[in-house]
Structure 1
Amino acid sequence: MNVLGKTMGFSLGLTLIFTLVTYLLPQVKGEAPVEKKVDLDSLTMDDFVALGDELFHGKGTCTLCHKPAPLGRAPDIEGEDMVATAAERLSDPRYKGVATDAASYIHESMVEPGIYVVAGWGKKGSDDSESPMPHVNKPPIQLSDMEMDAITAWLLAKDGNEVTVALPAVEAAARAVEKSGVAARSQEPARAPEEALSRYGCVSCHSMDSRDALVGPGLVDVGARLDADEIRQSILDPAAVIVEGFPPAMPADFGDRMTVNELEMIVQYLAEKKG
């Protein structure tokens, strides 16, 4: 009887432990995907600016790097008047681009970030000759022209400046929306670790195939340095251990945004990277 009681107690204890772990891990509700409609026929400039705000803080992954000092790894453009900032940079003798105003400068900085690197913000060891910023119109971020225009509109409007970006034509906007899936369904969980790493902006800040430092350290050999538990902690609580030489710039909300499966796919994928 004593043995049976101990066995039942042990089983109950395991059940409670697994239940607790389940609550601690990030979850995703098993609900049907929610449709997000975009009424292109009645799209206003206010709607377009609001879309730019959403893209800047979401899909564009801009806030991973563009933060106030000392956390930022790029200029705090959200806290700057971009019309005044653009005028200052366009007059810099180091500027070699073709932009003529704030709107064209913002667009140029997204598609060709290496044309002009703001002093002090270049890739480490490049003497400000190389930009650590990815081309946002290419994978993994891959913003469309319409999405980049929306971000530009928001960056202009947020400080009360005139928005000089034109609203997209209904036909062009419809094609862009259809291509991006904005009007179709909300994103379903990633099916592979590479997809998850791209979706959450990891590859924008970390090199996966070298030790080269981008915004964060290279991860080609992270599995030789950290075990799975340490990698998981670095994702869920990035402030717990800060790599020397890098500011605490990594977002702390991945635990809320990732599903359990996405997190574990990334953890196991990185744990196997031994260099």
Structure 2
Amino acid sequence: MKVFIRIVIFSILISMAYWGFSNYGIPQVIPELPPVEEQISGSMTMDQYIALGGKIFNGKGTCTLCHNPVGGRAPLLVESGKDGAPIGARAADRLKDPQYKGKAKTAEEYIHESMVDPSAFVVTGFGKPGTNDTVSPMPNINKGSIGLNEAEIGAVISYLQKSAGVQVTVKLPTGPAPVAAAAPAEPQSAKTAEEAFGKHGCTTCHKIPGIEEAGDVGPDLTGLSGRAGKTVKGLIPEQYVMQSILNPDAFTVKGFEPGTMPADLGEKMTAKELEMIVKYLLEKKG
């Protein structure tokens, strides 16, 4: 009987701890619509097209997740870095690199190829570990959870060229102006954890058990269920995973740089999505 009472008391304490963290440790989670294709037409000016490219580069395209001065996990694109000038200015030089085996003939084609077939040429030091810089960790941005269309890709290229101070060679898209869009639907939460991973770009950086698409910019989440309760003292597994999503810089896994993972997922993820993701990661054993 005493053992039973202890178990009940322990269960109540755990429930209270979880409730407290859920109500006071988690910032407000605001629903957000999933990324949609940008409205692009032949009525746009080049300045508008370039501005749209910047919006995609810093937003939907998730480019700055890796291409930033903080993590050092991917070459800088709009700033000068250890590998040279901004990509718009150095793209032509890549074609002359003895290791380049791609199909591009111009600087514009090289940037496009780097986005849709990133392993065609991997900058030295930025390949997947163990591949001798022959395989890129970058996903194809015209597929998967990012899924940019050709007009969006062109906009990003124009932005990169303009940022580098070189001539913009991308042609403006042709076609009629889009009709007025209908009022946006109510924000919808992902229906499954797998869908939530894709919606929020988790697989762009992480290897997740049971998910084919995978990245290695962030920690491998395989086997997380076995170590989540042992990583940060005082946090039970659910608390640790939630903290890692909502306040990623509170604890950084050894070998990874702080500031790499977006800190605004709490503003983009619905409470239901957060719950599904935490449950999925803690239930998967491998």
Shared fold (TM-score greater than 0.5)? Answer: yes
Match of 1:52, as an amino acid? Answer: G
Is structure 2 residue 153 aligned with structure 1 residue 148?
Answer: yes
Identity of aligned residues (%): 45
Q: Provide Cα deviations, 1:210-256, integer angstroms capped at 9, x if missing partner.
A: 89871112222212221111111111111122112222221212122
**TM-score (norm. length: structure 2):** 0.77
List per-residue Cα deviations over 1:155-196 (Å, max 9, x = no partner): 11123322111111115x85xx99xxx877376332322122
> Which runs of structure 2 are paired with 1:48-127 in the superposition (5 Å)?
48-69=49-70, 71-80=71-80, 81-127=86-132
Q: Name the amino acid aligned to 2:52.
A: L
Post-superposition CA distance 1:70-122 (Å, at most 9, x none) = x1310111214223221221111001112122211110001111110000101
Separation (CA, whole Å) in 1 of partners of 2:44 and 2:52: 10
Residue type at the aligned position of 1:268: K
Per the normalisation by structure 1, the TM-score is: 0.80
Instruction: Compute the RMSD of aligned alpha carbons.
Output: 3.3
User: 2: CA distance between counterparts of 1:73 and 1:238?
Assistant: 17
- Letter paired with 1:61: T
Contact 1:36 1:183 in 2 (8 A): no
- SS of structure 1 residue aligned to 2:156: helix
Q: Once the two structures are superposed, what CA deviation does each residue of 1:131-172 show, in whole Å capped at 9, x if it has no partner? A: 10111111121111111111111111123322111111115x
In structure 1, the residue matched to 2:10 is none
1:51 corresponds to which letter in structure 2? Answer: L
Would the alpha carbon gap of residues 27 and 38 (structure 1) be closer, same or farther in structure 2, given more than 3 Å must change? same
Worse-superposed segment, 125-134 or 208-217: 208-217
Relative distance call for 1:149 and 1:264 in structure 2 (3 A) is same
Q: Which has the larger displacement, 79-88 or 139-148?
A: 79-88
Q: Is the counterpart of residue 195 in structure 1 residue 195 in structure 2?
A: yes
- For residues 111 and 221 of structure 1, do their structure 2 counterparts lie closer, same or farther at Cα, with a shift above 3 Å needed? same
SS at match of 2:89: helix
AA in 2 matched with 1:238: P
Q: Could you tell me which residue of structure 2 aligns to residue 270 of structure 1? A: 281
Does the CA contact (< 8 Å) of 2:145 and 2:201 recur in 1? yes
Whether the 8 Å CA contact 1:56–1:151 is kept in 2: the answer is: yes
DSSP 3-state at the match of 2:129: coil
Residue number among 110, 133, 138 corresponding to 1:133 in the alignment: 138
Aligned-pair CA distance for 1:40:
3.2
Cα gap change, 1:183 to 1:56, in 2 (>3 Å): farther
Q: Which runs of 5+ in 1 are unaligned?
A: 1-13
Unaligned runs of at least 5 residues, structure 2: 1-15, 81-85, 229-236
Q: 2:55 corresponds to which letter in structure 1? A: E
